[in-house]
Chain A
């Protein structure tokens, strides 16, 4: 939790963070010259998954709201951004099933503005949905958000003049470079860390831990939860937009419940309520999902031939997830956070006096 940090250490920590950030930036900048495109893509995906994981962690881990609707908010973000950055000519050609709505065709914005728009539109939907839905608690909230996510997907499939229906959008300009994704992640990390360290962060955790006591302390719990949910949806929208820009093709099937599950895995494996945990979770889950692909190829052990079974890696992954839940329910980080003081062993002087 917030242990007291003396001024000298705080200064040192800031310098260390800046240095580490610069080193990582330099590595990412140079990486494409040394690593093949496939690995670059996975490293990029880690950043995007971290952004998505962090935004879901804000809702579920910190806000205590069990949401299964994140794929829906990602979809909104991905479509908003893609529609804004694809040129009108391209769009005109792409819509085959139904003619494109003129206002959709003529919309244009630069990439960064489209990211912001993706976040904002997603946040508006999140806010509107959460006001009725957040009166529910626990499992009911999960079911309601899951339903919402499906509604979004089906709307996208059927609102052909706006979304090009089941065909999806192709040829999205690949703006999500390594530096762009990690830049967004850095901004998100900074904002979330500072939010959760401020007194409002205490309030968010208070609402999660004991709603009755929080109300007694003068906290408008519904308003707080709506706000946290909305902020999480903003992150989900931005993450979805980056994902679209990385893959360059989006269609409604991308945003099924399985997408939410992988984010949930990141959050749970990393540690509910831990910012560091979501980043660690994103690294682990993303690389594992890629690395485990080998089990889906035919394997020969001696004279034994095992044919590749598509989907096998998800089975293995599910087993791993069950193992995490049985043996380390709080996830890798629990609710703890990384700190330089912990890494450099500042001693226990600052501890519980």
Chain B
């Protein structure tokens, strides 16, 4: 798949070591632009480590990551600190939700807008001095409200983020990520802790996000219904190695994948 001309992110020989443990070993993969790509594998396969390398939290011991913008320019984002990765147009959510719990839902989303804010911090201190900056603040608030409403969180706007129900917190984290105006969205287990009905809704939700905001999406997920239902292409990791990649139907039949998940006997059965 992903012909080289049409990637959003490409990893070249990424290796991550923690002391003697090799978490990811020479991983080369690419993620299609405007695609929904899944990254799956058993526990400890190194999926979240891959996310952390892409978003700048880990510096890989070897290899590099390329990012292609909407305008077609390609640049390496290896070793950039996380805030610069975000600035470049990548946003992520966390496996264990990391909202700003004391802040209201709308404040959480407004914080996401900060990275694109042009007005400087001192412009809003003295009243009436920088009408442009004041207008921008107002726009950020309105934009945050629109995002919340789009994600069905309008009613929670002024409630502290930590008081929201679990599913709403997951969506708020996505709203906050969207506020950074990303081109590429990384979702770390978006369906974790959701009931079957919620996960079913999630499929359509992820697709609609891609279409509305012109995103490329890479997601880690354990819920195979979600993965098989929404992903157009899947990469499978096991013990830091890439063991398979392909369309969902191919992955379902792949021997190595079945072996990794269920053991040798199941694969041979």
Contact = CB atoms under 8 A, between A and B. Distances in A.
Interface of A: 1-4, 191, 194-195, 198-200, 202-203, 205-206, 209-210, 212-221, 227, 335, 351-353
A200 B81 contact: no
Nearest to B155: A353
B30 interface: no
B82 A215 contact: yes
A216 B86 contact: yes
B98 A206 contact: no
Interface in B101-160: 101-104, 106-107, 110-115, 117, 121, 124-127, 137, 140, 154-160
7 contacts: A194-B126, A202-B114, A203-B111, A209-B102, A210-B100, A217-B114, A221-B83
B86 A217 contact: yes
B157 A202 contact: no
A202 B107 contact: yes
- Counting chain B CB atoms within 10 Å of each CB, the highest count among A203, A206, A227 belongs to A206
A202 B87 contact: no
B125 A194 contact: yes
B114 A218 contact: yes
A352 B84 CA distance: 35
Contacts of B86: 215-218
A195 B124 CA distance: 7
Contacts of B121: 195, 198, 200, 227
B83 A353 contact: no
B245 to A, nearest CB: 27
A25 to B, nearest CB: 19
A216 B82 contact: yes
B91 interface: yes
Contacts of A200: 114, 121, 124
A121 B125 CA distance: 21
A217 B83 CA distance: 7
B68 interface: no
A199 B113 contact: yes
Contact of B114 (A203, A212, A213): A203
Contacts of A215: 57, 81-83, 86
A194 B119 CA distance: 14
Contacts of B158: 1-4, 351-353
A206 B159 CA distance: 16
Given A215-B81, A215-B83, A221-B83, A195 B125 contact: yes
Nearest to A227: B121
B102 A198 contact: no
Given A218-B83, A352-B158, A202 B103 contact: yes
Interface in B63-99: 81-84, 86-87, 91-92, 94, 98-99
Interface in B191-207: none
B124 A352 contact: no
B55 A216 contact: yes
B57 to A, nearest CB: 8
B94 A213 contact: yes
Contacts of B81: 215, 220
Contacts of B84: 218
Most buried by A among B106, B114, B160: B114
B180 interface: yes
A228 to B, nearest CB: 10
B33 interface: no
B100 A213 contact: yes
A205 B104 CA distance: 11
B170 interface: no
Contact of B137 (A1, A199, A218): A199
B59 interface: no
A98 to B, nearest CB: 41
A201 to B, nearest CB: 9
B169 to A, nearest CB: 12
A219 B99 CA distance: 14
Nearest to A223: B83
Contacts of B47: none
Contacts of A195: 121, 124-125
B180 A218 contact: yes
Given A200-B121, A335-B102, 6 more contacts: A199-B113, A202-B111, A203-B114, A206-B103, A215-B57, A219-B114
| Nearest 4 pairs of A and B residues by beta carbon | A218-B115, A218-B86, A198-B124, A215-B82
Contacts of B82: 212, 215-216
Contacts of B112: 217-218
Contacts of B233: none
Contacts of B126: 191, 194
Interface centre among B92, B126, B158, B180, by most chain A C-beta atoms within 10 angstroms, is B158
A7 to B, nearest CB: 12
Contact of A219 (B115, B137, B154, B159): B115
Contacts of A210: 98-100
A199 B126 CA distance: 14
Nearest to A14: B127
B102 to A, nearest CB: 6
Contacts of B117: 199
Contacts of B101: 209
A136 B225 CA distance: 45
Contacts of B111: 199, 202-203, 206, 214, 217, 219
Nearest to A352: B159
A3 B115 CA distance: 23
B103 A209 contact: yes
A212 B155 contact: no
